[in-house]
Amino acid sequence: MPVISTIPERCKRCYCCVRECPAKAIQISHGQAVVIAERCIGCGNCLKVCSQNAKAVRNGIGGIAARLALPGSAEKIACIAPSFPAAFPDVAPLRVVGALRALGFTKVLEVGFGADLVSAEYRRYVDQAEGTVITTPCPSVVELIEKYYPELIPNLAPIVSPMIACGKVARERYGAGAFVVFIGPCIAKKLEIADPECDGVINEALTFDETAKLLANAGVDVHTQPEREFDQPRANLGQIYPLSGGLLKSAGIGADVMDAEVIVVEGREHCLNIINEIASGKVGTKLIDILFCEGCVNGPGMHSSLNYFEKRERIIGFVKERTATLNAAIWKNSMTNYAGISLARGFRNCRIEERAVPDAEIDAILTAGGKARVENRLNCGACGYPDCRQMAVAIALGLAEQEMCLPYTIDNLERSHRELAQAQEQLIHTEKLASVGQLAAGVAHEINNPLGTILLYSHLLLKQLQDAEPARKDIQFIVQEANRCKTIVSSLLNFARQGKLAVAETTVGDLVASIVAMIAHREEFGAIRIGTTIAPDLPPLHVDVDQMKQVLLNIAINACEAMPAGGTLDFTAGKGERDEIVFTIEDSGGGIPKENMSKLFTPFFTTKQIGKGTGLGLPIAYGIVKMHHGSITVRSDAGKGTAFRIAIPSDVRDLHSGPMTPLEFASTLDASASSSLQQ
């Protein structure tokens, strides 16, 4: 279990934790930030920057409360970090000691004494060390070097932290069976107590925030507790460890600003920068003291109402008060008594190995996110990564998702909104068309009966009338108009019917030739030149031959009618994608006005004169093409002509060819009005 985890219901995809994590230990999975335990260095930066309080620290409260409640002779020891006066700013510091005793701890020790021991050890080590030495009591710095800069392990002073030193003193003084708890501002201490180099010294590590909750749960009010003194041994200058340069000061090592041999570094950015500089060989300084936070007083496990300077002043005031009353002789005696405790430790190479991501993979990810061109890479940092390329690498490594990119997500959202609006409009139009189709079918059937009667009696009258009689022409006109009504009714039925394919075999050449022959025999199209281009080796067609003839003929007639003064009509047939056959019918007419393009396949839309067209030819053609699992698109240039492109599978026998309901047929017609049908 990681030291820090995400509370999913609170995570709002702000990616602040990704941006602030120095170890890139945050993986985004399904929009949620997941802390990768193997990569985490416990710095707590993600905890600090999360405005939604969506990060949780591994809780040690329950186990400690249960242990404190158990009777027994073993000592229960609290080792409290020297920054505690800043964590409880509104009470006298020694009341905190009294509160811990009231909670059930039998002993309360100052981690500052462990810092005194560690300082003496640092002083001895630095005097004899060669090369650059990194001194740090900070477990986050140690974790960072072990996992990401293991080449710097030889530079780390091999000395335990004050916490571990204090824990060893507690066990030396009060027995190996003692229950020892560290209390401080640092989350990374929870990692340190489990480090194999330090394992078994400290049983549990609590933050100051957790300690406040533990006290509240137990009903212990810090403000009302009596002031109690720490148990021996007492601390000296080790109490200033939480402050910048405190380690060096307590160790008696100079840190003058003019001293080029000593550098004091604190804060995330400065810490990362100096470690990078050391790793690249750009720093030759003898001694570098590093704290990941801006002093331990700003640790992530301490939410105090004081600012940095107020915390610093409160600690300094407490240290001055304590050192003024310190019995130097007793302190020196304690230092001597515990000088034999081993403060040495080693470090492990835990390098995080990452695969090298090829440029081709990175480029593919950038292209998928709409960033194929450099100018499209905003490098805005909204995703938490410094630039688009680094985010692409993170996606390749499984640490990030494409949706983390704000511009990408906004573009997708806008496209989704457009598609949703189009889908809603299409659904409404589809329902209307289905109703129109059903109405048309009913009307057509009702009109057919009286039409049949009119035609029957008209023909009877024609037989009775002589050729010279004036009424004969009137009756012939009635027959003519009735037949026109019959044609319209037939078109309505074709539009509203549940279409079914009667698949038969033909060739592309025969299909085109039959259409060309029908056009060529019509006198009104005599001034039109017809050309055909058919690709060789085309497979045979298995389609509904009659219906495909109707499609091609309707489009060809429309094209010819668009050239009343003559022109050119070109038929082209060739192979398309996969097993498709593509027919193109192109004319040299005046083209289709732009405002009419979206209405071409809408039922009953026509620009022809009354009596010349019903507006059902193209919608029916579109429906037939869709029943063949094909597509039809239109390209038209004003003054230059129009081209229809029909693509259908060469064999529809294995495809669904059952009857279509009116709603299904209407939906194919409705889709024809969308921009996807126009090029």
Decide: 493 and 444 in contact? Cβ < 8 Å: yes
**pLDDT at residue 162, rounded to an integer:** 94
Tokens of 476: 């012939």
Q: Record the tokens describing residue 412, joined without a space.
A: 């997708």
CB burial readout 248-272, b (16+ within 10 A) else e: bbbbebebeeeeeebbbbbbbebbb
Cβ atoms 632, 552 nearer than 8 A: no
Per the structure block, which two tokens stand in for 645?
């492109």
Q: What is the pTM of this model?
A: 0.65
- Radius of gyration in angstroms for the set of CA atoms belonging to the chain, rounded to a whole number: 43
Q: Which residues contact 212 (CB under 8 A, 6 or more apart)?
A: 87, 88
Q: How many residues does the chain have?
A: 679
Encoded amino acid at 176, one letter:
A
pLDDT tens digits, 118-145: 999 999 998 888 888 999 999 999 999 9
Domains, in order of start, for the chain: 59-337 (no CATH), 354-404 (no CATH), 417-496 (1.10.287), 504-677 (3.30.565.10)
Which residues in the chain come in under a pLDDT of 70? Answer: 1, 254-260, 426, 429-438, 440-441, 445, 488, 491-500, 603-605, 607-616, 656-679
What CA–CA distance (Å, rounded) separates 185 from 93?
15
| Helix, strand or coil, per DSSP, at residue 134 | strand
Q: Which of 582, 586, 660, 598 is nearest to 626 (CA)?
A: 660
pLDDT of residue 434: 65
Other beta carbons less than 10 A from residue 163's beta carbon: 28
Contacts of 497 (CB under 8 A, 6+ apart): 441, 665
Count Cβ atoms within 10 A of the Cβ of residue 103 and give its class: 0-12 exposed, 13-18 middle, 19 or more buried. buried
Pairing type for strands 262-266 and 567-575 reads unpaired
What is the per-residue pLDDT for 674? 42
Are β-strands 567-575 and 528-534 bridged in parallel, bridged antiparallel, or unpaired? parallel
